[in-house]
Amino acid sequence: MEISFANRVGSIRPSAIRELLKLTQQPGVISFAGGHPAPESFPIEEMKKISIKVLEEQGRSALQYSATEGYKPLREFIAKRMKNSGIEVEPDQILITNGSQQGLDFSGKLFINEGDVIICESPSYVGALNAFRAYMPKFVEVPMDDEGMKIGELEKALEQNPKAKFIYVVPTFQNPTGRTMSLERRKKLVQLATQYGVLILEDNPYAELRFEGEEIPAIKHFDKDGIVIYLGTFSKTFCPGLRIGWVAASNEIIRKYVLAKQGADLQANTMSQMELYKFLEEYDFDEHVRKIREIYIKRRNAMLETMKVEFPDNLKYTYPNGGLFTWVELPKGIDAEEILKKSIDQKVAFVPGSSFYPNGGNENCFRLNYGTMPEDLIVEGVKRLGKVLRAL
């Protein structure tokens, strides 16, 4: 029998990265592909103690259904931490989600009618683009430079699309480019969005992973009218396997996210929320994040220093001050997918850049993640990749 799927199914694409991950799981492959955090950073011993405590003290609650909004002490912790970083938000304005990916899906579900415009950075996070695609938007891309979205181009995009549903940004250590939007542009972004009455969806998974330079306030810090929806996650600062992220938004908006969560899967994992909270309560989270940063600084240095030596001179790439990614631009006309094939022969994997552009093109770029591999393998992998690139 012919299966008649909904029209939106034609828009859903397999994640290039998740498909690639299957390849990179072959033994011996040096992977710069996934967005995986360093497993060395996972607090396994602490988790053992915590699991026992949660089960002993609250076992029946931990294994039972719980509130759709999420575990209240966890929401209170998040609100407090956000306040400390300059964002005014109440616990009741927070919904716990399965990683920030679920916040992206809900954002599509709650705002996008078929054909609606979403404004995004060019390039942008492919997982977000795929989540939005299920709701069939039109993507309008705003070019970037090293300070993030070009504001003149953003204003043009808003002028031409005043009914855009939201502006999607990863302002800090962006996935895929590693770039950070400057303070000045953040202010202008909020000002323009307010002027045009368009929401901002701020996706902020990497901000805590700053290696150097001064902290820049989140875009939501500048939000006086509740036009910024903020997505956070513990996937990069704790453990992604527990799938815990959150949405923070105005009362009116968060209520709709809660309804979306009810219909989608009732609630986040009760036990994992309690375990995470127990960790936050009993250990020094800032110290834990500091340790993670130290791992990544070394890896960023290993990758970027080796790239400087081993990559041909005609390549451009970003120098990230935090997060997990650097972004490489090959000369026009060279296809990163072809490079990937040759690179896989040398057992090195990365993600070609084209899928980060919602409307395609830009085949000459690729993304490298320095977060997953130890330094010696990073050096070795970049060397091999350098050979492939110099052979062109």
- Asked if 115 is part of the footprint of a second copy (rule: CB under 8 A), the reply reads no
| Number of C-beta neighbours around residue 134 at 10 A | 17
Residue of 212, 214, 252, 287 that binds a second copy (CB under 8 A): 252
Partner residues linked to 120 by β-bridges: 141, 168
354-383 residues near a second copy, rule: CB under 8 A: none
Closest CA to 229 of 252, 262, 195: 252
Minimum Å gap between C-beta 215 and a second copy is: 27
- Asked if 99 is part of the footprint of a second copy (rule: CB under 8 A), the reply reads yes
Minimum Å gap between C-beta 207 and a second copy is: 20
- Asked if 342 is part of the footprint of a second copy (rule: CB under 8 A), the reply reads no
Closest CA to 68 of 203, 264, 226: 264
Residue 254-293 contact track with a second copy, rule CB under 8 A, x = bound: --x--xx-xxxxxxxxxxx---------------------
- Asked if 183 is part of the footprint of a second copy (rule: CB under 8 A), the reply reads no
Q: State how far the Cα of 13 lies from the Cα of 129, in Å rounded to an integer.
A: 10
Closest CA to 186 of 212, 214, 222: 222
Task: Tell me the site size for a second copy, rule CB under 8 A.
Answer: 84
Residue of 73, 76, 91, 134 that binds a second copy (CB under 8 A): 134
Closest CA to 180 of 209, 156, 222: 209
Residue of 142, 144, 239, 385 that binds a second copy (CB under 8 A): 239
Q: State how far the Cα of 311 lies from the Cα of 333, in Å rounded to an integer.
A: 18
Minimum Å gap between C-beta 386 and a second copy is: 28
37-66 residues near a second copy, rule: CB under 8 A: 37, 39, 42, 44, 47-48, 51-52, 55-56, 59-66
Q: State how far the Cα of 8 lies from the Cα of 244, in Å rounded to an integer.
A: 27
- Asked if 18 is part of the footprint of a second copy (rule: CB under 8 A), the reply reads yes
- Asked if 2 is part of the footprint of a second copy (rule: CB under 8 A), the reply reads yes
In angstroms, the first-to-last Cα distance of the chain is 49
Alpha-carbon radius of gyration of the chain: 21
Q: Between 40 and 345, whose beta carbon lies closer to a second copy?
A: 40
**Position 227: which residue type?**
I
